[in-house]
């Protein structure tokens, strides 16, 4: 039912989205995933691109490095029980993205905690001006998704970016 991050299979359900990337052992140690994590992440990706299409924006494609950055934050939040954009090591999303080797021009991060279904998250983010702005980053070309099981339910992280 719940698996370690490194055990996630490839998603393959969204073109260009090959799955939640396995994180380094230090980031994935003790990090649990909700049941059907890959399918849930695929639904986030589909919802994100459907939203972007409805706004006249181009589709974004999955990037494994952005998913690694998102997964690190999802695991960190799930372990700590804290909720915010700052990591337990003081990092922000830009630092986490850079640590993967990804060079980002513009970037943004959305978080959600406790919602069991991807559509609830997409709808919630659409209704929040700051979250909506991240989903609608005009120059964004790629995204990553992180998902972990916390004590308060699933932790969802979306990272959007434009490569350098």
Sign of the torsion formed by the C-alpha atoms of 145, 133, 121 and 95:
positive
For the chain, give the number of residues. Answer: 164
User: Would you state the pLDDT for residue 114?
Assistant: 84
- So what's the pLDDT on residue 29? 56
Residues 86, 41, 160: CA angle, nearest 5 degrees: 50
According to the model, what pLDDT value does residue 87 have? 78
pLDDT of residue 156: 94
Q: For 18-27, how does the pLDDT look when each residue is reduced to its tens digit (9 = 90+)?
A: 444 433 333 4
Distance in angstroms (rounded) separating the CA atoms of residues 64 and 159? 11
DSSP state of 33: -
Q: Which residues contact 66 (CB under 8 A, 6 or more apart)?
A: 97, 100, 102, 142, 143, 144, 159, 160, 161
Which CATH superfamily groups domain 37-163? CAP (3.40.33.10)
Domain ranges of the chain: 37-163
pLDDT value of position 111? 95
Positive or negative CA dihedral for 139, 92, 40, 100? positive
Q: Enumerate residue ranges in the chain where pLDDT < 50.
A: 1-27
């Amino acid at each position: 039912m719940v698996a370690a991050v490194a055990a996630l299979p490839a998603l393959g359900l969204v073109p260009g989205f090959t799955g939640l990337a396995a994180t380094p052992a230090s980031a994935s140690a003790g990090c649990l995933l909700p049941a059907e994590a890959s399918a849930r992440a695929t639904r986030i990706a589909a919802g994100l691109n459907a939203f972007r299409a409805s706004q006249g924006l181009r589709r974004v494609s999955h990037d494994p490095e952005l998913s690694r950055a998102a997964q690190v934050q999802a695991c960190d939040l799930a372990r700590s029980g804290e909720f915010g954009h700052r990591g337990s090591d003081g990092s922000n999303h830009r630092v986490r993205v850079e640590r993967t080797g990804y060079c980002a021009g513009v970037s943004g991060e959305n978080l959600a905690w406790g919602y069991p279904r991807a559509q609830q998250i997409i709808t919630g983010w659409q209704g929040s001006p700051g979250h909506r702005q991240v989903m609608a980053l005009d120059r964004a070309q790629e995204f990553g998704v992180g998902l972990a099981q916390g004590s308060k339910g699933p932790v969802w992280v979306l990272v959007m970016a434009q490569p350098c």
